[in-house]
């Protein structure tokens, strides 16, 4: 057999390791330990060689700055098969930095304002000193994950909420998620995430598994309500930020609600890229969950 024919055979048979967004999962084993699991699939036609995943982490949000976290060894995987790889990383538990949500109160009145805002009043503009404390306190530490924004605002939660970025075969796959977060029925529930790391403009679209859940996004820096785009095909409605900015997701589920999911799709104007922040919400989850007002 000629060398050209051998080259063609080698080209036809090769390994292709892939990771899907829903193949990235994480949850706490202990208050200061987070188990990270990644499903690696070989979509190629040949068995893969042992490889390595590179993990990065960031505070929960969209278009925030990544920092190195750790590496995971990936075993050889047969073609068409997949394997889960796992690692345990440390989670810092910083002290809460204060009542930054004191300005946010639900307006439960029956007037026009309450109806227009789904029973939610805008927060007071965030004090710049408190804002700096929030953002710098959320900086990642070399020894483990970045602190959880929920911990910083209101104390420890059962499961770390944040961003993971998995590099496999020079391709990054991101997941930004707050897992197993308790939702309080028939009350204003507040979740928080970070937006951006430099001046830019962003557009927002929210999706909820239950159409009865009312929702609104607020810029925590200014108290402004963020206009959302109705669907992925409409013209974006842009909102400018000067740098990393905390965004509030305020939800009001009905008095009877089951486990649900809210996804916030964020488009960055300068790059045209879209990131998704996921909130896994359950009225029976452990811990205080969302900030209930």
pLDDT tens by residue, 261-273: 999 999 999 999 9
In the predicted structure, residue 16 carries a pLDDT above the cut 80? yes
In the predicted structure, residue 133 carries a pLDDT above the cut 50? yes
Residue 160: phi, psi to the nearest 5?
-60, 135
The answer to whether domain 112-140+177-292 has CATH 2.60.40.10 is yes
CA 136 to each of CA 97, 174, 190, 219: distance values in angstroms, whole numbers, following the listed order? 11, 22, 21, 18
pLDDT reported for residue 233: 81
Averaged over 104-108, what is the pLDDT? 48
In the predicted structure, residue 89 carries a pLDDT above the cut 60? yes
In the predicted structure, residue 59 carries a pLDDT above the cut 70? yes
pTM attached to this predicted model: 0.84
Write the pLDDT tens digit of every residue in 145-165: 988 888 877 677 889 999 999
Considering Cα of 241, then 131, then 264, then 185, what sign does the dihedral take?
negative
């Amino acid at each position: 057999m000629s060398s050209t024919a051998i080259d063609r055979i080698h080209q036809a048979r090769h390994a292709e390791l892939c990771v899907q967004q829903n193949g990235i999962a994480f949850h706490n084993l202990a208050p200061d330990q987070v188990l990270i699991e990644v499903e690696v699939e070989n979509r190629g036609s040949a068995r893969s060689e042992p490889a390595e995943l590179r993990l990065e982490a960031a505070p929960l949000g969209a278009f925030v700055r990544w920092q190195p976290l750790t590496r995971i060894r990936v075993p050889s995987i047969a073609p068409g098969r997949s394997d889960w790889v796992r690692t345990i990383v440390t989670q810092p538990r910083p002290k809460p930095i204060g009542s930054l949500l004191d300005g946010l109160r639900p307006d439960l009145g029956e007037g026009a304002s309450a109806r227009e805002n789904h029973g939610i009043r805008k927060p007071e503009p965030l004090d710049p000193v408190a804002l700096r404390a929030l953002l710098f306190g959320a900086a990642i530490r070399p020894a483990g994950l970045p602190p959880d924004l929920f911990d910083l605002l209101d104390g420890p939660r059962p499961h770390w909420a944040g961003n993971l970025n998995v590099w496999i075969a020079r391709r990054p796959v991101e997941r930004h998620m707050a897992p197993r977060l308790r939702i309080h029925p028939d009350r204003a529930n507040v979740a928080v995430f970070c937006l951006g790391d430099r001046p830019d403009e962003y557009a927002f679209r929210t999706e909820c598994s239950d159409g009865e859940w009312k929702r609104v996004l607020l810029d925590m820096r200014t108290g402004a309500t963020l206009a959302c785009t109705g669907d992925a095909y409409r013209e974006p409605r842009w909102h400018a930020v000067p740098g990393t900015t905390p965004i509030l997701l305020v939800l009001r589920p009905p008095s009877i609600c089951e486990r649900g999911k809210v996804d916030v799709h964020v488009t960055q104007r300068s790059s045209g890229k879209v990131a998704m922040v996921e909130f896994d919400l359950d009225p029976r989850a452990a811990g205080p969950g969302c900030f209930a007002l």
